[in-house]
Amino acid sequence: MTYQLTIPGNLYGGDGSLNELSNILKKEAAKKVIVYTDKGIRGAGLVDDLEEVLTATNVEFMIYDDIKPEPSYKEVEKIQEETKNYQADLIIGFGGGSVMDSAKLCSVLIGASYNVKNLLDTPHIAEKKMKTIMIPTTCGTGAEATCNAIIAVPEEQTKQGIVNNEMIPDYVILDPQIIRNLPKQIIAATGVDALAHAVECYTSNKATPFSNIYALEGAKLIFENIREAYNEPDNMKAKEAMLVGAFYGGVAITGSGTTAVHALSYPLGGKYHIPHGVSNAILFETVMKFNKDACAVELAEICDVINPSYSDKSIDEKSQYVIDEIADIVKVTDIPVNLNEFGIKKDDLDFLVQAGSEQTRLLNNNKKELSKEDIEKIYLKVIG
């Protein structure tokens, strides 16, 4: 088997690394820049520092802040249509996963003969039209590292990934000061999402020696820091570790791929609009319990990294320790643990099972094959 990994070519991190943006713009000789963000981020004042750097660099810039959470492909078409005539030299994605995925899609859409719907059907036709800089404002999606863009498909009431290496960002800035005042519930949801990326990629059928390096280190950073980042607002060391861990999880996705946790979460976001990180958190422990016998060795290897004191334990004990840690993190960060809180009942099972079973791109990565009966049992456990 051969394997390959494409990652962003230029990475900047640490306190104040947002200021490196001016050097990037000079290097790229950028004259006009378009910034994609959302109204919540702009309203929170997070865009102010970015505007300050852009203004000091004397580039012309436009800020587009009308990106909705988990947008549909039609909404991304609208974003592209409303910004295509600006004729920017460079794209900045400043936000969470929805913002960065939309920005990445725009980087392959502006001036193209194809549209987003075409990319849903034939993702390989995407070609980068404009360089991108990704600046995450949460500590969890990993979208700043990936070649993926996840968008809603309303007519199917689910979400789908468009995957093409042309969408790998050219520059990434990981400045922990940007997430200094991130609300606790967003640290929780995005942090658990990032943890799912790392654990799923390490236990995926597509895992490689390249992806495993990032998945394992990402898992270690998040397991060791998420509780502190959640409980201690001023613990910037923990928040920086979460930011880096989330990036590593994103790199792991590009080299490997997520599995059944993400596959079964897509219908929850697509139809019921449950935030992506929350739906993953609800499913995480249950899916890993189901998978345990097929990936116990990999889970035990994660345990060796996050808890060396378990070195003399059995593979079964080590793998169970990791699953118990996942459950505890979800509990202490106050993420909902069942779907009842979102109005989902047993009457919704038929849709969920059918829609979940159709996520073959990710289910094929799962070490244990899931029948429709297995999928039903998993959803039943989290409906409560």
φ and ψ at residue 364, rounded to 5 degrees: -65, -20
The 3-state DSSP composition of the chain as helix, strand, coil percent (nearest 5) reads: 60, 10, 25
Q: Do 370 and 264 belong to one domain?
A: yes
* 51-74 tens-digit pLDDT: 999 999 999 999 999 999 999 999
Q: Do 58 and 167 belong to one domain?
A: yes
Which residues are CB-contacts of 345 (< 8 A; sequence separation ≥ 6)?
Answer: 383
Q: Do 249 and 290 belong to one domain?
A: yes
Task: Map 33-55 to HEC letters.
Answer: EEEECEHHHHHCCHHHHHHHHHH
Question: Last residue of a domain, which of 179, 196, 229?
Answer: 179
d(C-alpha 324, C-alpha 326), whole Å: 5
Are 145 and 170 in contact, with CB atoms under 8 Å apart?
no
Evaluate if residue 384 carries a pLDDT over 80: no
* 303-323 tens-digit pLDDT: 999 999 999 999 999 999 999
Domain harbouring 376, CATH code: 1.20.1090.10
Pick the range with the lowest mean pLDDT from 42-46, 197-201, 236-240, 295-299. 42-46
Q: Do 209 and 101 belong to one domain?
A: no
d(C-alpha 362, C-alpha 203), whole Å: 12
* 171-200 tens-digit pLDDT: 999 999 999 999 999 999 999 999 999 999
Helix (H, G, I), strand (E, B) or coil at 132: strand
Once rounded to an integer, what is the mean pLDDT over residues 147-154? 93
Are 94 and 33 in contact, with CB atoms under 8 Å apart?
no
14: enclosing H helix or E strand = none
Q: Do 94 and 145 belong to one domain?
A: yes
Domain harbouring 169, CATH code: 3.40.50.1970
Banded model confidence at residue 232, pLDDT cuts 50, 70, 90: very high
* 213-228 tens-digit pLDDT: 999 999 999 999 999 9
Q: Structural domain of residue 77, as residue ranges?
A: 10-179
pTM of the full structure: 0.96
Once rounded to an integer, what is the mean pLDDT over residues 113-138? 96
Question: Last residue of a domain, which of 179, 197, 227?
Answer: 179
pLDDT value, residue 1: 82
Q: Do 161 and 21 belong to one domain?
A: yes
- Asked whether residue 3 is assigned to any structural domain, the reply reads no
